[in-house]
Amino acid sequence: MAEEEKQVTRHDVEESRSLFTPFNMIAGIFLIVGVILAFKRFTGGLGAVTNLDHNNPWGFWIGFDLLTGVALAAGGYVTAACVEIFGMKKYHAALRPAILTGFLGYSLVVFALLFDVGRPWRLPYPFIVNQGVTSVMFEVGACVALYLTVLFLEFSPAALEWLGMKKVRKLAIRLTMVLTFLGVILSTLHQSSLGAMYLIAPSKLHPLWYSPYLPVFFFVSSIAAGLSMVVFESTLSYKNFRNKMDEEHKKSRNAITIGFGRAASLVLAGYFAIKIFGVALGNHWNLLFTNMGLWFQVEMLGFVLLPCFLYAIGVREKNVKLIRFTAFWTVLGIVLNRFNVSLVAFNWQLPMEARYFPSWMEIGITLFIVTVGLVVFRFIVTRMPIFYEHPEYSTEH
Amino acid sequence: MSTSRRKFLKWMAAAGAAATVPEKLSAHEHFTGYPDSYGVLHDTTLCIGCRSCEAACNEVNDLPEPDKPFDDLSVLKEKRRTDDKSYTIVNKYDVEEHLRSPVFRKFQCNHCLEPACASACFVGAFTKTPEGAVVYDASVCVGCRYCMIACPFDVPTYEYNKALEPRVMKCTMCHPRLKEGKLPGCVEACPMEALTFGKREDLISIAQERIRKYPDRYVDHIYGIEEMGGTSWIYITGAPYEEIGFRTDLGITPAPEFTSGALAMVPIVVGMWPVLLGGIYAISKRKEQIAKKEKEDEVTRAVNENQAKADENLKNTKEKAQKDQEFAVEKAVKKALEEAEKNKDSGKEES
Amino acid sequence: MSETIHTLQEFMTQTKGVIYLLALGFLVSFTWFWTFLHKKDKD
C-alpha cells in the first residue's frame, strides 16, 4: 500500500507502472488461493472448507460477509438520503463514492451467499417457485434483491458518462428521486430485518443481545455504520486515488468528514440509549457482570459510547484526524456487534467443545471476496467519474 | 416439478383468500392446530435403551450404515445428537439423585404444532401436515440453513459433505408410512411400548392417566403440551426434564409469534416512509426555494437600488444640463440684446 | 376457499402473502400519486 501511495502521488505514471506492485501481488495471492478454495467448496460441499456443524449452521460468512457487509454498505442510502431528500447539497461530493461502495458491497454480499447456501443456483426459488412469506429471511432476500437493482441504477450514470451514452444517462438521472426514496425504504426494511432474523431464536441468543428491539438496533447501527464507512472510505480513497479527485471533491472533503462525524456521534448516542433501554426491557441488569455481560460492556462502552464521544470531540475541535480514526473504530465496532450477535452470543449456552470457530479456509474465501471488491473498486474509480465531475455534465444540479 | 408448479400458485391463492375471509376469523383468533392429528408419547420410564428404534428408523428411511452397529450399546455412554445420517438417537442419563436406574431418552423431531422451521423457511420447504408430521421438501430447498437456526430443539441437520444436492435431514414421523396406514418405524420396533402412537388428544389423556395412577413414578409435567406452543411428540418421565436433555426454558410461545411483530412493521414502513420522507423532502425543497427567492429578491433589490441611483444621477445631470443650457441661452439672449442695444446706440451715433 | 385455518403458520402465510402484494401495489401507485400531487409545481 505504501508503495502504491508513492506511485499515485507521481501523477501520470499510473498507466506505465509495473503490474507487480505490492497491492497487486497480495491481491493476486488472495485471488489464487480463493479460486482454489472455491473449487474445493463447490466439489466437496460446505464441509470441505467450513467448520460448520449441525449445532452451528451459520458461521463466519453469515457473520461477516452478510451481516457486516450489509451494515457497512449502508453508506449508499444514508448519503443519498442526506443529499437528495434532506437537501444537504454540500455533501454532494460524497454521494458517488458512497453509492459505489454500497453497490459493490451488496454485490459482494450476494456473491458471498453463493458460497454459503447449499444450492446457490436456487437463490431465486423463494420468489419464483414458492414464497415463504412467513420468513423474515424472505423479506431480507426480497429487499436485498430489489435494493441491489436500485443501487445499480443509482450507480449507472457514472458508468454511462464514462461510456458516453448521454441519452440513457439522462433517463437514469430522471429516476434519481424515485430511486432514492425506494433505496431508503428498502434499506430500512432489510437492515432491520437482518436483526429480526434472530428474533425466532430467543432460546439460543444470549439475553443481553436478544431483544424485541433487535430490528431497531440493527437499523440504527446501520446508519452509524454507513456514516462512518463514508468517512473511512474517503480517507482510504484520498490516500490512494487523490490524483483522480477534482478540486471540488478535495475542498468539500473536510466539511463532509465533520458533518458526517457529527451525525454519527448523534446516532451512536441514540443507539447507546436504546441498547440500555433494551437491557431494562428484559430486566437483564443482573447479567451485566457475568462473563458474557462484561463482553457486552466492552462492546457498549468501548465501541459505542467511546466513539460517540471521540466523534463529538473531533467535531467540536475540528480535528478531522480524530474523526477519521473514530470512523475506523466505529467500523470495527459494527464488525464486533454483528459477530457478537451471530457467533459469540449465539449458542452461548453450548459447552465450549460444541462451539463454532471459523476455519482458515472460511476466512480465506472472505478475503478472496473482499479482494475482488477492492480490485473492482479500483478499476471503476480509475476510469469512471466517481471522485470528480465529468466535464460535460458539471453544470448540472 | 409438478409440486413446484402447484406451489407457484400460492401467490394467487393468497390473493384469493383475501377476498373470501372465513367467517370464523376474528382479530383474536386462537389457533389450536389440526384436529385429530397424530403424535407419539414417549414414556422414558419404560425405555431400556436397546436402540431398536434407531435401527428401525435407519432401515425404513434408507439411511446410510452407522459407524457402530445398532446392537453396540457402548454408544449410550456419550451424549450424542442426531446428524445427517440418523434421524433419531437414544441417550442415557445417570440421575442418581432422583432415580436408581438411569433414564433413557429418545431424541428426534418433536413435530411442533407451529413449527419454527416452517416459519423460518423462505421457500416454504416445511409443511405441518394435517396428520401431524412436519415434512420437508428437498426439491425447493435453497440450503440457507435458517431452519437450523430457528429450531429450538436443534433438530434439522445438514448434509455438509455433499457438493451437489445437499439436503436438510430430519425425522419425518414416517409421514409416507402414516399415509399407508402403517406406524412410524421407531414405534413399531419398540419392544417395551415406551413409544405410543395415536391421536395427540388421546395421548395426552393416556399420559395424564399414567401420572395420576403412579404419582411416585412420574414428574408431574407432560413435556410437549405447551412447550413452544405444543408439539406432536409428548413426553413423560421420572426425572427432572432439564437433567435428561430437555430444555425447560423455551416457554410456551409458538415460534411464528416471535417474528410476527417485526413482520407486521414491514407494511407500516412501506406505507409511512414515503409520507415521512416526502414531508422532509418538501421541507428541504421549500427551504431551498426560500433561500433561492431571498437571493433573487436581494439581487432585484440591489439592481433596483442601482437603477434608482442611476436614474437620479441621470436626472440630476439632465437637470443640470438643462439649467446650464437655459442659463447659456439666457446669457446668449442677454448678450445679444445688449449687443443689439449697443449696435443701435452706435448706429445712432454713426448716422 | 373458506376452509378453516388451523395453524398460525397457515394464517400468517395467507395474510403476509396478501400484505406483500398490497405493499408492492402501494409502492407503484404512490409513485403515480406523488407526480399527481405535484403536477402544479412542475412549471
Give the gap in angstroms from C-alpha B1 to the nearest C-alpha of chain A: 10
Helix, strand, coil shares of chain B, percent, nearest 5, are 50, 10, 40
Of the listed ranges A240-244, A393-397, B85-89, B249-253, the one predicted with least confidence: A393-397
Q: Which of B9, B25, B275, B280 would best serve as a mutation to test chain C binding (most C beta carbons within 10 A)? A: B25
Give the residue from A248, A288, A185 showing the smallest Cα distance to A385. A248
Distances (CA, A) of A114 to A38, A62, A108: 10, 11, 10
Distance separating alpha carbons of residues A199 and B173, to the nearest angstrom: 27
Task: Report whether B56 contacts B70 (CB < 8 A).
Answer: no
Q: 3-state DSSP call for residue A295?
A: helix
Distance separating alpha carbons of residues A337 and A333, to the nearest angstrom: 6
pLDDT at A6 over 60: no
Of residues C31 and B213, more confidently modeled: B213
- Asked if C27 and A185 come within 8 Å (Cβ–Cβ), the reply is yes
Identity of the residue in C16, C27, C31 whose CB atom sits nearest the CB atom of A134: C16
- Asked if B141 and A134 come within 8 Å (Cβ–Cβ), the reply is no
- Per-residue pLDDT of A353-362, as tens digits, reads 999 999 999 9
Three-state SS for A118-152 is CCHHHCCHHHHCCCCCCCHHHHHHHHHHHHHHHHH
The model's pTM: 0.88
Q: Which of C12, C22, C27 would best serve as a mutation to test chain A binding (most A beta carbons within 10 A)? A: C27
- To which residue does cell 473536510 refer? A254
| Contacts of residue A231, Cβ cutoff 8 Å, sequence gap at least 6 | A256, A257, A260, A261, A264, A323, A324, A327
On chain C, the residues whose CB falls within 8 A of the CB of A178 are 31
- Any alpha helices (H) in chain A, and if so which ranges? 2-9, 22-44, 60, 69-72, 75-80, 92-116, 125-128, 136-163, 166-174, 176-196, 214-241, 247-282, 291-297, 306-316, 320-339, 360-381
pLDDT tier for residue A134 given thresholds of 50, 70 and 90: very high
Amino acid A5: pLDDT: 46
H or E segment and range at residue B206: helix B200-213
- Asked if B22 and C2 come within 8 Å (Cβ–Cβ), the reply is yes
- Per-residue pLDDT of B228-240, as tens digits, reads 999 999 999 999 9
Backbone angles phi, psi at B136, to 5 degrees: -120, 135
Cell readout for B194 is 415406551
Is the Cβ of C8 closer than 8 Å to some Cβ of chain B?
A: yes
- Per-residue pLDDT of C6-27, as tens digits, reads 999 999 999 999 999 999 999 9
Burial A194-218 (b: 16+ CB within 10 A, else e): bbbbbbbbbbbbbbbbbbebbbbbb
Distance separating alpha carbons of residues B33 and B227, to the nearest angstrom: 14
Task: Report whether A305 contacts A271 (CB < 8 A).
Answer: no
On chain A, the residues whose CB falls within 8 A of the CB of B88 are none
Give the gap in angstroms from C-alpha C20 to the nearest C-alpha of chain B: 8
Give partners of B (≥3 CB pairs < 8 A): A, C
The predicted complex's ipTM stands at 0.89
Backbone angles phi, psi at B231, to 5 degrees: -130, 160
- To which residue does cell 399407508 refer? B180
- Per-residue pLDDT of A161-204, as tens digits, reads 888 888 888 888 888 889 999 999 999 999 999 999 999 999 99
Is the Cβ of C33 closer than 8 Å to some Cβ of chain B?
A: no
Q: Count residue pairs from B and C with Cβ separation < 8 A.
A: 84
Is the Cβ of A133 closer than 8 Å to some Cβ of chain C?
A: yes
Distances (CA, A) of A43 to A93, A123, A317, B83, C20: 45, 19, 56, 21, 38
Q: What is the average pLDDT across B173-197?
A: 95
Give the gap in angstroms from C-alpha C28 to the nearest C-alpha of chain B: 11
Among chain A residues, the shortest Cα distance to B254 is held by A200
Q: 3-state DSSP call for residue B236?
A: strand
- Asked if B267 and C23 come within 8 Å (Cβ–Cβ), the reply is yes
Is the Cβ of A182 closer than 8 Å to some Cβ of chain C?
A: yes
The pLDDT mean for chain A works out to: 91
Amino acid A173: pLDDT: 87
Q: What is the average pLDDT across A14-30?
A: 76
